[in-house]
Amino acid sequence: MSALVDEQKLEASPTGDYKLPRIKPHTTTEIKAHLRSAKTLWCPGCSNGTITRALIDAIIGLELDPEKVVVVAGIGCSGRISAYLDYSTVHTAHGRALAVATGVKAADPSLHVIVAMGDGDSSAIGGNHFIHAARRNIDLTALVFNNSIYGMTGGQMSPTTHLGDKSTTSVYGNVEPAFDLCELAHAAGATYVARGTSWAYQQLTNVIAGGISHKGFAMVEAMAICPVYYGRFNLTSDPSEFLMSQKEHAVQADKFDEDVRSHDKYPVGLLHHTEREEFVTALGKVNERAREAGNG
């Protein structure tokens, strides 16, 4: 269910017509050509490197001109991706990446704008920008690294930390329910919504590529693992064990049974896909109307 009241007036196409791109993995040498540095500050066992590689694989696979790719990032572990990628990159303030990216895309619609954010970044401090970017259906690809915790500041709970989970600020167990970021994006009007895991690399790459090639607001949630904080407090500090647990939790969207939805069972793959007029395209039409009004 979308939360947009006017959506019934817009033409919608069912998800079933749409096929995700299939991206062939590229060699490490090819991947490295898209990095300023392969040295990161991410902890051993962190999955951010895997997600970064999937993003590069998608960009190469879609044959985008690297000079026309802009990555706008927020603050947190995921935000650091901006310094590593060899594109035009903006490391903004906490929560503000989508608002900055809105200005970038509106000022130069020829750019491929990818917005890298964390879970707290996108849905706590940046939650307002998130729902409004989705509502506008601006052609941005939101890539949310969801590790269910604030890693950079040392393991505090976030809006995607599950009920009962422990963190340094939910010492006795979290009393707040978690956001489902994909459903949040969908309800707010996102026209492409997909989820991947760091465990299933190929699917993650494909859903990122689908998001980039989609004309409209694309939400790609990359389920990340944080063995150092989230894992150690709640599950396991062993990265491989943590990764393997994603295999058990993730259910392919077409086989997903809504009745079992919980943080232990969530759908992955393409979740929602519709077409409606993109925001910057609509602004272009506003300019045409303004010129006609001026001439008439």
User: Tokens standing for 73?
Assistant: 């990032």
- Nearest distance, CB of residue 46 and another protein, angstroms: 18
Which are the contacts of 131, defined by CB distance < 8 A and separation ≥ 6?
A: 184, 188
Among positions 178-217, residues that touch another protein (CB under 8 A) are: none
Residues 122, 135: Cα–Cα separation, whole Å: 15
Q: Does 87 bind another protein (CB under 8 A)?
A: yes
Are the C-beta atoms of residues 127 and 159 closer than 8 Å to each other? yes
Ramachandran category for residue 45: left, alpha or beta (phi over 0 → left; psi -120 to 50 → alpha): left
Residue 19 or 291 having the CB closest to another protein: 291
Q: Judged by CB under 8 A, which of 39, 107, 255, 296 binds another protein?
A: 107
- CA 282-211-131 angle, to 5 degrees, is 60
Among positions 114-133, residues that touch another protein (CB under 8 A) are: 128-129, 132
Task: Find the part of the chain contacting another protein (CB under 8 A) among 47-55, 95-103, 160-168, 258-266.
Answer: 95-103
Are the C-beta atoms of residues 163 and 180 closer than 8 Å to each other? no
Compute how many other C-beta atoms are within 10 angstroms of the C-beta atom of residue 178.
20
How many positions of this chain bind another protein (CB under 8 A)?
A: 42
Q: Does 152 bind another protein (CB under 8 A)?
A: no
Task: Find the part of the chain contacting another protein (CB under 8 A) among 65-73, 142-150, 156-164, 236-244.
Answer: 65-73
The residues that touch another protein, with contacts defined as CB under 8 A, are 36, 66-70, 72, 75, 82-83, 86-93, 96, 99-108, 110-111, 128-129, 132, 283, 286-287, 289-291, 293-294
